[in-house]
Amino acid sequence: MNRQALVGEIRRKQSFLCVGLDTDPGKLPAHLKGKKDGVLEFNRCIIDATKAYCVAYKINTAFYEAMGSKGWEIMEATLDHIPDEHFAIADAKRGDIGNTSHQYARAFFKTLSFDAITVAPYMGADSVMPFLEYENKWTIVLGLTSNPGAHDFELQRAGEELLYEKVLRTVSGWGNPGNLMFVIGATRGEEFENVRKLIPEHFLLVPGVGAQGGSLQEIASRAMNSDAGLLVNASRAILFADSGENFAKAAETVAQQYQSEMAAFLLH
Ligand SMILES: O=c1ccn([C@@H]2O[C@H](COP(=O)(O)O)[C@@H](O)[C@H]2O)c(=O)[nH]1
């Protein structure tokens, strides 16, 4: 999906919500737990219930890889169920020496038809470039993450700047705002204005609202650009809004609440 199509969907839906499909089999409602294909049934119900209110889905591959080969099949079937107009993100956090990154890019962009993949920048340009070679595909590089460990490296000084600032400044030169996004955690509200000074045009994938306590209001007021420029992800807050048979209705209600808050910002 190219930038024009993504922005078009954001305007049409009045939403920049990304629903995270972090489906922990241990948290399935009782009637699906232990059932053959329970995870897939759960994912399909969540997608059907939320698709009117979001523009993207993010599959965190860890939850599927942990199930072995069956998990990979569930991930593929879940991806097939995501409607074409939705932006599909593989949250796989890959990146390796060049020839290995080429294989990761092929796995997620060709063998599977994800629109985007998350990539760790630690190994440098040759580990990121192979992902950027694909037309109409996106590389989403970890910039400033939502977890406490962001203080260990990302928020440490690297000469005159912070390490995450160096990452944004350097990596933004490897691609362009049409094929490169950055992960900036919603728990880093105070840094968003600074992020926008460094990368005014790029889309930001923002995890950390809901279960991690980040504020949608704070992010939207500080970091939207003329194309919205944000994909705000919520996983557990939507998936597990209700632990019983009404899980899909509850997920729909939460997604709709996020969408209406986002619509108010998009009108400004
Ligand atoms: O900095 C980061 C990078 C990635 N994530 C991922 O986003 C979701 C968040 O899930 P919630 O349940 O909404 O907290 C999850 O897949 C993380 O692995 C992140 O949280 N922070």
Predicted confidence band of residue 198 (pLDDT cuts 50, 70, 90): very high
Consecutive H or E run containing 58: strand 56-60
Which residues, 6 or more positions from 170, have their beta carbon under 8 angstroms from its beta carbon? none
Which residues, 6 or more positions from 101, have their beta carbon under 8 angstroms from its beta carbon? 94, 95, 126, 127, 128, 129, 130, 131
Model pLDDT for residues 8-24, shown as the tens digit of each residue: 999 999 999 999 999 99
If one residue of 118, 146, 238 were mutated to test the ligand 1 pocket, choosing by the most ligand atoms within 8 A of its CB, it would be 146
- Asked whether 183 lines ligand 1 (CB < 6 A), one says yes
Is the CATH number 3.20.20.70 carried by domain 3-267? yes
If one residue of 182, 235, 239, 240 were mutated to test the ligand 1 pocket, choosing by the most ligand atoms within 8 A of its CB, it would be 235
Model pLDDT for residues 99-144, shown as the tens digit of each residue: 999 999 999 999 999 999 999 999 999 999 999 999 999 999 999 9
pLDDT at 34: 84
Distance in Å, CA 145 to ligand 1 centroid: 9
Q: Where are the alpha helices (DSSP H) in the chain?
A: 3-13, 38-50, 61-65, 69-81, 98-106, 125-132, 163-171, 192-198, 216-223, 236-239, 247-267
Distance in Å, CA 207 to ligand 1 centroid: 5
State which ligand 1 atom lies nearest to the alpha carbon of 239.
Answer: 12
Annotated catalytic residue within 27, 35, 93, 249? 93
Predicted confidence band of residue 268 (pLDDT cuts 50, 70, 90): low
Of the candidates 139, 73, 82, 77, the residue with the CA atom closest to the CA atom of residue 105: 139
Q: Is 93 a catalytic residue?
A: yes
State which ligand 1 atom lies nearest to the alpha carbon of 150.
Answer: 1
Token duo for residue 206: 């923002």
